[in-house]
Structure 1
C-alpha cells in the first residue's frame, strides 16, 4: 500500500507562545496588520499574572520610554474595550497621602505633569474616594489611569481576537522553539516569526538569556475582600508605598525623604516589599464589586511553595487602618508571580533568527504590553 503523503503543517506569519496579556498584545497588533496569527498556550486558558493582578492600567506613574508605551497601551485598551465589549473604567487613580513626605512627592510630581493630574485637599480626596481615609493629609488624582477586571477581561480579549481570525491552540505545551518552527505536544507549527511571551518562564526556554538579564521570579500575595459598608470606589487607589514603586514618582527629588521616613516608621512594609494599593472589581452590570487588596513582593530564582501568614496579616492590618474598618471579610487569596530583572522593565531579545523573547520584567504588563508589542513588531 502506498503511504499517504505527508501534509506539511499550516504556516503562519506569526506564532505567539503564551496567551497572557503580552502574548495577546502581539496577536492584537499582528492580526490588525493583516497577518495570519496563531497563539499557543499550555493551559486551557490563561491562568498566570495576567489574571491575578489589580486590573489597573497605571499609565500616569510611568517614566521615559515606559510612559510612551503606557500612553499607547491606554489608547489600545479603550479601543479593545469598545470593540470587544470589555468594561474599561476611565476613573483615574486617587493617591492617599498620610505623611508630609508623601505630599511633597505628589506636589513635585503634579508640578511637573499638571496637565493630567491635580492635587487634592482631604475633602476633595474623600469625594473622589467615596470614603474618608483616616489620617489623610491630602492626595492627588491621576486622570489617565484605567481599570479593567482582569479575570474576565483577558479571556474576553482572547475571544475577541479569535473572532478576528487569530487561531488559538490551548493545551499545546511548547517543547522547542526554532527559527521557523514551534514544536508542541499537539504537533508542529510553522511560522515566519515566533514571539515567546511566557513571562517568568522565559528561563525554561532560554536559560542563558534569562541568566544574562538577571531574571528572577517576584512572588506576590493578594487578597479579595468585601467592600466595607458597601462603599463604591471608582478610581484605583495608591498610598505612600506606591510613590516609591513607580518611576514617575520615585525619580522625584522628594522621594528620598519619603524612602527614609517609611524605612524608619514602617519597616515591615519594606521587609515584605509592600505596595499598599487597591482596586474594586468591575462588572458588566455596573454593580460595585469586591476590593482587590495588595500586594507584597518577594524575589527568588525558584519560588518557595510555602506562604508566610505574616504577609497576609500585615496587608489586612494596613487595609483596616486605611479604610477605617474594624473588620474585613476576606473572600479569596492568591499568589501572583511575574518576572523581575535589575536590568530594566523589559527583556526583549532574539535568541535565534526569527524568534523574539519578550518578557515584562517589572510587573507592568497590563499597563504597557499593548505599547511594547507594537514596538517589538514595528507596527
Structure 2
C-alpha cells in the first residue's frame, strides 16, 4: 500500500549544502518546500570539509560571478549565525608567501584589481603576516595576502544548524531516511511515501548516478576523493586567526589559474614537491567551534575510489603544513575522507533540466559551502540557465 504524504510546492532531493540552499531560495519566495534526504542526517561532503567560505578562490571566466556568489553565500552564513547563535569565525583568510615566486603570484593577482581588491584584499608584509596569525612560522616568510571576505563555520555543526533554521524560521519540512525512487511529476515516489508537487530540485551530491544518470557520463563528471584530518582542541582558547594557506593553494584555485606568474611557481613545486602535486595536495588550516584545527587536503579523481586512506598522503599534507604553521598541540584526533562530484571540464557547477519541472544542481566540487547559497538564488532568479551537455576535459584541477 502506497502512503501519500502531504502536497508541497517544491521537493528538494538531498539535504547537503546545495539542497539546503535551494530550499532556502524557494522558501524565501513563499513556496512550500519539502526536503527528502536518504540518510538520517547529512553525512556526505557537506560535513567532511574545512567549513571555509572561500570567495577569494572562486573566479571562473571573466565576470567574477562566482566570487560575488561566494560573498553572498558568506552573508547567508552570517545571517544564520546571528539568528541561531551558531559559532562562526569572521576572520578572513591569509595566504602566506614563503618564496619570491609565491609573492609574485599574489602581487599579480592584486594588481589586476577587481571585486576582491575592492572588498579589501591586500598585500601584507612578513611582519604583518606574523601579527595576523600566531600560528604562522616566521622563518622565511616574505609576505602574504590578507582577504577579509572569508568566514569559517564548523561544518559538523553548521549543516544541521541550517536545516533546523530552515524548519523553524522558514517552514521547510524535512523527510529524513527516505530514498527518492522515481520522479514522475506531479508525483515524487519515495521510500516514505509519495509526494505531489510542481517542481523538483535534485541536489544529490556524490550520489549523482541514481536520478538522471544520463546527465553524468564519464566525459562529464568524475568523483573526487579527498583526505583530511583534525587536531585535538587547542588549549586555553588559542585562536588560529584567519584561514591559512600557502603556495600550493595558489596552484589549486581558479582565481589564480590565469596569472602569468603562476608558471614559475608550478615548475618549482613540481621539482620540490612531486608527491604533493601528484596527489593534488594543497594545504588549508581552519578552526572549529571546539578549537580543533582542520588540516587538509588531497584530491584524487576517478570514476570509483577504494575506501582506504593512504598514510603517505596524510604525512605529505602534514609535512607541508609544518613548514608554515605551528600549533600549541598538533596531535591528530580524527582522520577521514570525503567524496564529491567534480566536472571534467573544470566548470564550477552543473545546472540541467532533464525534464519539465525538474532541475538538477550539482557538481560544485570543493566549493559547495561557498557557492551554494548564491548559486541557488541565481538559479531560481533565472540568472543560471540549464545546460544538457559538457565538453571534454581541458583543464587540470589537480
The 3-state SS of whatever aligns with 2:330 is: coil
Q: Which runs of 5+ in 1 are unaligned?
A: 284-288
TM-score normalised according to structure 2 size: 0.88
Secondary structure class of the residue paired with 2:91: coil
Which residue does the alignment assign to 1:286?
Answer: none
Partners in 1 of 2:234 and 2:283 — Cα distance?
Answer: 17
Aligned to 1:291: 293
Point out where structure 2 has 5 or more consecutive residues left out of the alignment.
383-398
Partner of 1:93: 93
Q: How does 1:1-379 map to 2 (within 5 A)?
A: 9-63=5-59, 64-113=64-113, 114-115=117-118, 116-133=120-137, 134-163=139-168, 164-211=170-217, 214-226=220-232, 231-283=238-290, 289-324=291-326, 328-343=330-345, 344-378=347-381
8 Å contact kept, 2:4–2:195: no
Task: Normalising by structure 1, report the TM-score.
Answer: 0.92
Q: RMSD over aligned Cα, in angstroms?
A: 2.0
**2:95/2:146 contact within 8 Å kept:** yes
Offset of residue 332 of structure 1:
0.3
Moved more, 295-304 or 210-219: 210-219
8 Å Cα contact 2:235/2:329 also seen in 1: no
Alpha-carbon distance in 2 for matches of 1:327, 1:130: 13
Structure with higher helix content: 1
Distance 1:174 1:328, change over 3 A: same
* Matches of 1:256 and 1:233, distance apart in 2: 31
Partners of 1:101 and 1:351 in 2: CA distance: 46
CA contact (8 A) 2:282 2:317 kept: no
- 1:238 Cα deviation after fit: 1.2
TM superposition shift of 1:321: 2.7
Cα distance, 1:7 vs structure 2: 8.4
SS of residue paired to 2:199: strand
Partner of 2:389: none
Cα distance in 2 for residues equivalent to 1:227 and 1:243: 28
Q: Offset at 1:59?
A: 1.0
- Give distance in 2, aligned partners of 1:46 and 1:94: 30
Distance 1:357 1:219, change over 3 A: same
Q: State the aligned residue count.
A: 370
- Alpha-carbon distance in structure 1 between the residues aligned to 2:314 and 2:109: 31
